[in-house]
């Protein structure tokens, strides 16, 4: 097991949604000295540039690579080139810099979007290469999959201890509520609150509401990543999640209940649903490094709603 208190750690994406929770965990739960954490912003260090990655990796022991260009279905449909190039370039450069600088451990964060569209549920790590990803998310998912291939290749040739963690829809306090780029939970919370504010007796939602998703509370995700960094040293990718699925209809009804909205839900079936089902088999993470998600969905949603209201002074 790695004692993180004694390591110099580069965290990319440290100022993003997941990154802020991970940094808080490192400082408060792991008691990593603040001076041991290097947390450059995207403006300070463009990771699509190799020389910047070399500069960032120099003198570090561990890299936790969270940085990503990511959004919901709308973003992925509108910006497939950005979703592919930016994410692939960051990982490509950072792993090569890690190799050249002799980094002790590289933790790469992958995505559920790496999984094929047509495989049995729940998603199991062994099925990762059984087909092509769902089309709307494929450029982003394949960019992340490139990072997995590179991690495994560098482990084999250069003995770089690089691990790859597969994650899915995160939610929680501090989430992105911008309707142009937000994921489903923050987007729906904003829609409901806006409808209440405007006195509407209905809300409109994309698709049919039939697809199912698994939602992963951000504080649980941060804990899982840190546990894997401390304890997991194998070549195989690992699913991190809650292991529970819910339909978008049930999710929206639960949010309406928690937010005391009694209006009608109007589904716009001309908009894409995305993949029909998505949820993880998570037993491997528990077996390999003792991780399981602790936060119930209803509890996590309530905290997310409260955070949104506090930030918008509602």
* Model confidence pLDDT, tens digit, residues 49-68: 999 999 999 999 999 999 99
So what's the pLDDT on residue 77? 82
In degrees, to the nearest 5, what angle opens at C-alpha 136 toward C-alphas 132 and 139? 65
Structure tokens at 202: 């209905």
Q: What is the pTM of this model?
A: 0.92
Instruction: Tell me if 29 is assigned to some domain.
Output: yes
Smallest CA-to-CA distance from 70 within 79, 84, 85, 83 is with 83
Average pLDDT over residues 135-156: 96
Instruction: Tell me if 208 is assigned to some domain.
Output: no
- Residue 114 above 90 pLDDT? yes
- Residue 75 above 90 pLDDT? no
Instruction: Tell me if 256 is assigned to some domain.
Output: no
Average pLDDT over residues 287-314: 94
- Looking up residue 73, the CATH number of its domain turns out to be 3.40.50.720
Rounded CA-CA distance 237/157 in Å is 18
Choice between 90 and 178, residue whose per-residue pLDDT is larger: 90
Model confidence at 284, pLDDT cuts 50, 70, 90, reads very high
How many domains does the chain divide into?
1
So what's the pLDDT on residue 76? 78
Model confidence at 195, pLDDT cuts 50, 70, 90, reads very high
Instruction: Tell me if 240 is assigned to some domain.
Output: yes
So what's the pLDDT on residue 99? 98
Cβ–Cβ under 8 Å, residues 230 and 289: yes
Average pLDDT over residues 1-19: 96
**What is the tens place of the pLDDT at every residue in 166-181?**
999 899 999 988 877 7
Model confidence at 108, pLDDT cuts 50, 70, 90, reads very high
Instruction: Tell me if 9 is assigned to some domain.
Output: yes
Instruction: Tell me if 261 is assigned to some domain.
Output: no
Instruction: Tell me if 64 is assigned to some domain.
Output: yes
Reply yes or no on whether 140 is catalytic.
Answer: yes
Rg (the chain; Cα; Å): 19
Residue 169, CB-side half-sphere exposure with 13 Å CA sphere: 25
Structure tokens at 159: 């003995």
Using DSSP, how many helices (H) and how many strands (E) does the chain show?
Answer: 10, 12
Instruction: Tell me if 260 is assigned to some domain.
Output: no
What is the widest separation between alpha-carbon atoms in the chain? 62
Q: Catalytic: which of 38, 115, 123, 140?
A: 140
Smallest CA-to-CA distance from 38 within 69, 21, 59 is with 59
User: For residue 107, what are the domain limits?
Assistant: 4-171+215-244+277-294
Count the Cβ atoms, other than its own, within 10 Å of residue 160.
21
- Residue 199 above 90 pLDDT? yes
Smallest CA-to-CA distance from 32 within 66, 62, 3, 59 is with 3
């Amino acid at each position: 097991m790695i004692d993180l208190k004694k390591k110099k750690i580069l965290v990319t994406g440290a100022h993003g949604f997941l990154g802020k929770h991970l940094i808080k965990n490192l400082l408060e739960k792991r008691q990593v000295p603040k001076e041991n954490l290097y947390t450059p912003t995207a403006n300070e260090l463009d990771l699509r540039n190799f020389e910047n990655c070399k500069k960032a990796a120099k003198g570090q022991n561990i890299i936790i690579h969270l940085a990503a260009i990511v959004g919901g279905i709308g973003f992925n449909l509108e910006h497939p080139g950005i979703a592919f190039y930016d994410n692939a370039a960051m990982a490509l450069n950072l792993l090569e810099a890690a190799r050249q600088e002799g980094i002790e451990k590289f933790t790469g964060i992958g995505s559920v979007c790496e999984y094929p569209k047509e495989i049995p549920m729940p998603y199991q790590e062994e099925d990762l290469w059984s087909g092509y990803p769902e089309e709307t998310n494929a450029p982003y998912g394949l960019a992340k999959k490139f990072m997995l291939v590179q991690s495994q290749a560098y482990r084999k040739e250069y003995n770089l201890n690089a691990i790859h963690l597969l994650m899915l829809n995160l939610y929680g306090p501090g989430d992105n509520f911008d309707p142009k780029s937000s994921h489903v939970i923050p987007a729906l919370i904003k829609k409901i609150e806006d409808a209440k504010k405007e006195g509407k007796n209905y809300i409109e939602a994309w698709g049919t509401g039939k697809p199912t998703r698994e939602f992963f509370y951000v504080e649980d995700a941060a804990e899982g990543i840190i546990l894997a960094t401390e304890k997991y040293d194998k070549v195989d990718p690992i699913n991190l999640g809650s292991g529970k699925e819910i339909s978008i209809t049930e999710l929206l009804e639960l949010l309406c209940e928690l937010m005391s909205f009694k209006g009608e839900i109007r589904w716009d079936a001309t908009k894409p649903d995305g993949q029909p089902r998505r949820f993880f088999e998570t037993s491997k993470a528990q077996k390999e490094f003792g991780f399981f998600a602790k936060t119930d969905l209803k509890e996590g949603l309530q905290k997310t709603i409260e955070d949104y209201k506090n930030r918008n002074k509602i």
